[in-house]
Chains A and B, each alone.
Chain A
């Protein structure tokens, strides 16, 4: 089945630093999504990308949909302690919202004040 390779697995940074994480796949996805998960909670949508090459920002977050449709990155600028959590990329192959999401393994982010 579809697989997403997400890296890095974990990051330890100082408050104020910028962060970058990415996902790659051997197959094409039509939608890329980035979610954040806090302990004991469900994934919360951060950014959704629908077109190859699309670059989208949400506050301090910026994400891009790779031109090949096989990768995406998420950048967080000027990190703050509440950025701590697990970040997941997710892709959809199907062309409707009902098709399944395939999730990456997650990037555990730790921000030291």
Chain B
């Protein structure tokens, strides 16, 4: 079965550094998302992306965050200047279409640790 793949599985960075988290969505999917999960808490929406632009973003997704689809297969999340509170699991997800009833498929996440 096709999968959403994320790299790296674990990223450790120092406060203030930039990080880029990478995702390869399922190949025929058109909608892409980033969610995060702080340890022991629920999964929270960050951003959705369609047709090469952000379609929706949450209050968490401030100016420090950006997303990009640099080529036909990758989808990236960049955090410009990491803070301690950015430490979390970051999940990429994709869905096949905008048609109602097209569920999200999640990757296994990147654990980001900011020290």
Q: Which residues of A contact B (CB under 8 A)?
A: 1, 31, 33, 35, 40-45, 48, 50, 88, 90, 95-106
The reply to whether A97 and B103 form a contact with Cβ atoms under 8 Å apart is: yes
The reply to whether B58 and A100 form a contact with Cβ atoms under 8 Å apart is: yes
Question: Chain B's interface: helix, strand, loop or mixed, by majority?
Answer: loop
Q: Top 4 A-B pairs ranked by shortest CB distance?
A: A42-B106, A97-B102, A100-B45, A103-B43
* Known contacts A48-B101, A97-B99; is-contact A42 B108 (Cβ 8 Å): yes
The reply to whether A42 and B55 form a contact with Cβ atoms under 8 Å apart is: no
The reply to whether A44 and B43 form a contact with Cβ atoms under 8 Å apart is: no
Question: Chain A's interface: helix, strand, loop or mixed, by majority?
Answer: loop
CB within 8 Å: A-B pair count: 71
Complex: how many Å from CA A33 to CA B104?
Answer: 10
The reply to whether A98 and B91 form a contact with Cβ atoms under 8 Å apart is: no
Q: Which residues of B contact A (CB under 8 A)?
A: 4, 31, 35, 41-45, 48, 50, 55-56, 58-59, 91, 93, 95-109
* Known contacts A41-B109, A42-B108; is-contact A105 B42 (Cβ 8 Å): yes
Closest to A94 in B: B56
Q: Which of B4, B102, B104 has most A Cβ within 10 Å?
A: B104
User: Could you jot down 30 A-B contacts, CB within 8 Å?
Assistant: A1-B59, A31-B100, A31-B101, A33-B104, A35-B106, A40-B108, A41-B109, A42-B93, A42-B107, A42-B109, A43-B43, A43-B106, A45-B104, A48-B103, A95-B100, A96-B99, A96-B100, A97-B31, A97-B96, A97-B99, A97-B102, A97-B104, A98-B48, A98-B55, A98-B95, A99-B48, A100-B48, A101-B43, A103-B44, A106-B42
